[in-house]
C-alpha cells in the first residue's frame, strides 16, 4: 500500500526516514523529496492548474508580464528557469510545485495551519533518484555530466531554453526535481526543492498513481497534529526560522500563543 496512516510521533519518524541508508556511502542519505499538506485530501495540483482555463497560454502571459514589471536585479541571469523560480517564490501561479529535502520542514507545512486541525494531514514522499531515471535522455545526460541526482537551473537552461521547448517535450511525460537558486534565506532554510512536469495540465498525484514504486503518502491523523506541532516548535522548526524576517516572526508568535480550541490563558 502506498498510503500509510501513522499512529504516533515515533512512527512518523520511522516512516519518513526509512530506506535512507546508503550502502555505497556508508551514510544515511535519503533519496526522497517531501511535501507536507495540511489536508490529506488535497491533490498535488500546481498553482497554475488551480486557475483553470487555457493553462499554457496563461502561463506564457503571466511569466511575460512578471518579467516585464519586475526589477531587473531580481534574477541572477535573464533565463527562463531563474525567472520561473523567482516568480514561484513570490507567489506567481506556475507549473512548479514546492517540495523539500527535509522531513521536518514537510511536517511543519502539514501542521502549521491551525484552522485545518480538524482534517488529517499528509506528507508525500517521492524517490527523486528513481524518478530521474525516467527523464528524457538529454536531461539524464546533463545529470550524469554533473554527477548530480537533482536538476539545477543551469542544467535545465542548457537543454530547455523556453516554455515552448518545454511544451514540445510533453509526449515524453516526465517529472523532474529542481533545486532553485538560493535567492534568499527562505529558500535555504526550507531546504527547498521544486517539481517540474513537461505538461502543465498534468496532476502530479495522478502521474504517480501509475508508478507506485516511486512514492508513498504518509497520513497524519488530525488528533496527532497538536503533539507533532508542539514537538516541532521545541525543535525550532517554526515560521520564525523557515520564513526569516518580521512576517515569519509574527506568524510564529500568533500560532504559538493561540490557545487550543476550547481553552484560554
The tens digit of pLDDT for each residue in 156-197 reads: 988 888 888 888 888 888 999 999 999 889 999 999 999 999
pTM beyond 0.75: yes
Under DSSP, the state recorded for 51 is H
Q: What is the pLDDT of residue 158?
A: 84
Q: What is the pLDDT of residue 265?
A: 36
Query: Do residues 78 and 7 lie in contact, with contact meaning Cβ atoms separated by under 8 Å?
Result: no
Domain positions in the chain: 3-256
Which residues fall within 8 angstroms of residue 79, CB to CB, at 6 or more apart?
Answer: 153, 157
Alpha-carbon gap, residue 100 to 24, rounded angstroms:
24
Q: What is the pLDDT of residue 263?
A: 45
Q: What is the pLDDT of residue 71?
A: 75
Q: Which residues does the chain have with pLDDT short of 70?
A: 73, 261-265
Which residues fall within 8 angstroms of residue 137, CB to CB, at 6 or more apart?
Answer: none
Helices within the chain (DSSP H only): 9-17, 47-51, 55-69, 80-89, 103-111, 128-132, 137-146, 153-157, 163-167, 185-189, 204-209, 225-234, 239-242, 246-256
Amino acid at each position: 500500500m502506498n498510503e500509510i496512516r501513522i499512529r504516533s510521533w515515533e512512527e512518523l519518524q520511522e516512516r519518513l526516514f526509512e530506506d535512507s541508508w546508503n550502502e555505497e556511502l556508508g551514510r544515511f542519505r535519503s533519496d526522497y523529496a517531501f511535501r507536507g499538506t495540511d489536508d490529506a485530501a488535497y491533490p498535488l495540483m500546481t498553482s497554475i492548474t488551480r486557475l483553470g482555463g487555457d493553462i499554457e497560454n496563461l502561463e506564457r502571459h503571466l511569466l511575460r508580464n512578471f518579467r516585464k514589471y519586475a526589477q531587473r536585479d531580481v534574477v541572477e541571469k535573464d533565463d527562463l528557469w531563474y525567472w520561473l523560480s523567482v516568480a514561484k517564490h513570490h507567489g506567481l501561479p506556475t507549473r512548479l510545485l514546492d517540495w523539500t529535502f527535509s522531513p521536518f520542514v514537510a511536517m511543519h507545512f502539514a501542521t502549521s495551519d491551525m484552522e485545518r486541525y480538524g482534517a488529517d494531514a499528509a506528507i508525500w514522499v517521492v524517490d527523486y533518484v528513481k524518478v530521474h531515471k525516467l527523464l528524457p535522455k538529454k536531461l539524464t545526460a546533463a545529470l550524469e555530466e554533473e554527477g548530480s541526482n537533482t536538476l539545477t537551473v543551469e542544467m535545465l537552461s542548457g537543454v530547455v531554453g523556453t516554455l515552448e521547448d518545454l511544451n514540445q517535450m510533453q509526449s515524453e511525460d516526465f517529472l523532474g526535481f529542481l533545486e532553485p537558486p538560493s535567492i534568499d534565506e527562505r529558500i535555504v532554510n526550507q531546504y527547498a526543492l521544486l517539481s517540474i512536469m513537461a505538461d502543465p495540465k498534468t496532476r502530479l498525484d495522478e502521474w504517480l498513481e501509475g508508478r507506485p514504486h516511486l512514492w508513498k503518502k504518509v497520513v497524519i491523523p488530525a488528533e496527532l497534529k497538536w503533539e507533532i506541532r508542539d514537538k516541532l516548535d521545541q525543535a525550532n522548526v517554526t515560521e520564525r526560522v523557515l520564513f526569516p524576517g518580521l512576517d515569519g516572526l509574527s506568524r510564529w508568535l500568533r500560532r504559538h500563543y493561540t490557545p487550543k480550541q476550547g481553552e484560554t490563558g
